[in-house]
């Protein structure tokens, strides 16, 4: 039986929660720090996570000498198949049976919610680089969970405001019909409405859709000035490719891809993507620090890292540093140390971990270059503006996180 098939079947088998004796707890404290990268290895998010996220975590471990608290650090990985039940069962197996201390990456917000539950119950850590719904660090927040790389509010706030300033006040959404897509549409709509604009509606689609003709024709007929693509991975790639085929990009309507990365642009091609506005928390060719990391990453993977992969590297590196500083793997002690620092590394600029366990940092508004502007096949973005963490992310006072609200 394959490993993932076995893991997926654990829930049906009704595995009970383990009861740990003091001796087992002491033994666990003496074991090496163990990371698990839970990701999409072969599906629509594999380009921006997958094996690249595993490589990014290993780069961080190697940078720390491969040890924490005097013991070797271990790294394992698995494919959650973009299914919450599979992801949840793997998380439970890792925490209960395999001694994993920290789960990393985890694309798909609904899978994140499943993993969050087990992380809190087992008092283990979960740090997402790929899960984007603002609800993860909002109403679903947890002392054992950190949202490290971005959230839907930041994507909405940076890109939405930029287009509104240009007079683009009517919007239509092509949105994924799951937690991430719903949150992204909600957050962009709020930004647009507050800025004096309005949403003219949406066309939803299931995850991993191949044909977007119906959604694109509905968006075109809406007459909206902006068609906002609120999905990710190969779904985003397919929308943009087909939008070009339908003539939407040359018909007067503007399109914004609310979450798109270098690998997506490479798949889509500059002919279809040039001129698209993009919001990101990282770009590999931004400065010397990003280029140095990208060079080390490319030596392993043959191409630059995505925002999510850079987030895995940064979260792994800084988590290890805080384990060392706190002299323990205890989640509360490590999070306390993380919350006491300001982060500036290959990924984070002016990063701070807030009490709701949302990592806030500078974000960037970018535009996809034209073919004539290209000097490197992967240098596809032109940074238009840096948006500070205070401007990009929601204020802490507006947080729906119970950990914050209980202190108000």
Three-class DSSP category at 37: strand
pLDDT tens track, the chain, 408 positions: 333 333 333 333 333 333 334 433 444 445 789 999 999 999 999 999 999 999 999 999 999 999 999 999 999 999 999 999 999 999 999 999 999 999 999 999 999 999 999 999 999 999 999 999 999 999 999 999 999 999 999 999 999 999 999 999 999 999 999 999 999 999 999 999 999 999 999 999 999 999 999 999 999 999 999 999 999 999 999 999 999 888 887 778 888 999 999 999 998 888 888 888 899 999 999 999 999 999 999 999 999 999 999 999 999 999 999 999 999 999 999 999 999 999 999 999 999 999 999 999 999 999 999 988 988 999 999 999 999 999 999 999 999 999 998 776
The pair of structure tokens assigned to 236 is 């985003």
CA dist., res. 233 & res. 83, Å (int): 15
Tokens of 195: 């800025």
What is the DSSP pairing of strand 254-257 with strand 226-230? parallel
Q: Tell me the C-alpha distance between 143 and 335, whole Å.
A: 8
- Which letter does DSSP use for residue 130 in this model? S
Q: What are the tokens at 213?
A: 């003709």
Looking at residue 394, the DSSP 8-state letter turns out to be P
The model's pTM: 0.89
């Amino acid at each position: 039986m394959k490993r993932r098939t076995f893991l997926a079947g654990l829930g049906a088998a009704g595995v009970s929660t383990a009861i740990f004796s003091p001796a087992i707890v002491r033994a666990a404290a003496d074991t090496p720090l163990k990371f698990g990268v839970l990701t999409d290895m072969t599906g629509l998010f594999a380009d921006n996570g997958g094996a690249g996220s595993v490589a990014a975590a290993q780069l961080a471990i190697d940078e720390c000498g491969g040890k924490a608290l005097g013991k070797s650090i271990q790294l394992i990985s698995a494919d959650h198949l973009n299914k919450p039940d599979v992801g949840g069962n793997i998380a439970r197996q890792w925490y209960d049976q395999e001694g994993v201390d920290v789960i990393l990456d985890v694309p798909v917000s609904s899978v994140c919610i499943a993993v969050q539950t087990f992380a809190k119950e087992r008092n283990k850590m979960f740090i997402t680089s790929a899960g984007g719904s603002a609800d993860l660090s909002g109403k679903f927040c947890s002392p054992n969970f950190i949202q490290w790389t971005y959230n839907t509010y930041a994507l909405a706030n940076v890109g939405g405001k930029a287009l509104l300033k240009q007079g683009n006040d009517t919007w239509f959404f092509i949105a994924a019909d799951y937690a991430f897509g719903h949150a992204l549409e909600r957050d962009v709509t709020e930004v647009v409405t507050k800025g004096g604009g309005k949403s003219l509606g949406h066309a939803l689609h299931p995850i991993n859709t191949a044909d977007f003709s119906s959604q694109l024709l509905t968006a075109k007929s809406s007459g909206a000035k902006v068609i906002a693509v609120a999905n990710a991975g190969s779904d985003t790639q397919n929308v943009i490719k087909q939008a070009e085929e339908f003539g939407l990009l040359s018909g007067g309507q503007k399109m914004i891809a609310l979450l798109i990365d270098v690998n997506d642009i490479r798949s889509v091609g500059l002919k279809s993507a040039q001129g698209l506005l993009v919001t990101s928390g990282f770009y590999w060719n931004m400065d010397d620090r990003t280029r140095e990391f990208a060079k080390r990453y490319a030596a392993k993977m043959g191409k630059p890292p995505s925002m999510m992969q850079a987030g895995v590297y940064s979260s792994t590196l800084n988590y290890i540093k805080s384990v060392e500083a706190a002299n323990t793997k205890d989640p509360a002690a490590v999070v306390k140390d993380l919350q006491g620092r300001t982060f500036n590394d290959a990924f984070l600029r002016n990063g701070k971990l807030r009490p709701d366990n949302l990592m806030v940092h500078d974000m960037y508004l970018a535009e996809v270059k034209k073919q004539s502007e290209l000097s490197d096949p992967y240098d596809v973005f032109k940074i238009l503006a840096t948006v500070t963490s205070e401007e990009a992310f929601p204020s802490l006072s507006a947080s729906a996180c119970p950990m914050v609200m209980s202190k108000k």
